Structure 1
Amino acid sequence: MLNIQIDEREVKQLYLEKLEERIKEIDIEMVFWDANELKRRTCMSWNTIQEKFFFDTRFPKHKIGGKWYFPADRTKKFLLDWLDEN
Structure 2
Amino acid sequence: MPESKTRRKARRQADPAAETERMPLPLWYKIIMFGSMILGLLWIIVYYVTQSLFPIMSIGGWNIVVGFGIAMVGFFMTTRWHA
Q: TM-score, normalised by structure 2?
A: 0.31
Rg comparison, structure with higher value: 2
The structure, 1 or 2, with the larger RCO (C-alpha pairs under 8 Å, 6+ apart) is 2
Q: TM-score, normalised by structure 1?
A: 0.30
